[in-house]
Amino acid sequence: MAIAALAGALAGMHAAIWGMYKDALYEGFATDRFSRSVVVGTICGVVVQALLQLPLPGPGSFVVLFGLAYATERGIVEVWKTFLRDEDQAKYTIPTRLTLRGVPVESRVARLLSAIAYVAVIALFLLGVTQLEPGRSAVDAMARIAGVGFMAGTIIAIGGAWRDAPAEGFDGIKFLRSPVIAVIVALVLSRFTDSFFQIAVAAIGYERAVAETYKTFCLPSHTCGKFAGKPVLFPDVFRRRRQFVPVFAAIWLLVATAGVVALGTTATRSRPGVQALPKALVR
């Protein structure tokens, strides 16, 4: 459980850093907002481990749990911000609240019903994933894993397009970025777990981690979409945010190292198929 808490805390810290790195220029740095993801991530790591009983401290299980906690933390926070939080949307170029054709939905009842529908769609997708049969051959298994990753990435892409396209226009390349990343991640994760369920959820987490790392640190001239065109109100953040970069890089290094070590221990194993159900559900 201590390792699970660490994995969750690192996932939450990772998300908090890239979020702060982009948003604090316009909103200022707030300790409570920054620590929210760390706390939620820690709880998610512990709860996920309690439910799935991953074989920790194995490095492969740590890699999977990091992705599971990341996806769960992001899911909770984004559902809250999109459907439940009441906040003045005037400060945003692209609203963070649920929109209809780019216009924020004010009705709390409509947002609540939308949240239920959204969560239900995700739940149905994950339920469908658990019904997949093991691949009959290595090629069949890889195709199924890639399909799971593609569907997970497509769900992310649809949500992003719903929010951003009314203001920025639809970008096909941008839309396909999430499915492509999720497919690659899913194929890698399949080396660490036999559960389609775990692969699907963890792929969502890693897609967010990879995509936001790219947008935040590999596109220095890129302006955060929701604040595009807005003036920088807290220029001192340009200097303060740099101290978090080594921590961010260290988290990636730790996860990558765990992955390399795990790959080394599984390199000689044969993996003819994929287990259809999470191990906790099988038990």
Query: For residue 90, what pLDDT band results from cuts at 50, 70 and 90?
Result: confident
- Predicted model pTM: 0.89
Q: What is the mean pLDDT of the chain?
A: 88
pLDDT tens for residues 113-139? 999 999 999 999 999 998 887 777 788
Q: What is d(CA 40, CA 201) in angstroms, rounded to the nearest whole number?
A: 17
CA distances to 50, 179, 203 from 146, rounded to whole Å, are 28, 10, 11
CA distances to 46, 127, 218, 234 from 2, rounded to whole Å, are 8, 29, 33, 37
Q: What is the mean pLDDT of residues 81-103?
A: 86
CA neighbor of 184 nearest in space, from 201, 206, 156: 206
CB 262 within 8 A of CB 63: yes
Query: For residue 50, what pLDDT band results from cuts at 50, 70 and 90?
Result: very high
Tokens 């790591």, residue? 45
Q: What is d(CA 141, CA 144) in angstroms, rounded to the nearest whole number?
A: 5
Residue type, 185: V
Query: For residue 272, what pLDDT band results from cuts at 50, 70 and 90?
Result: very low
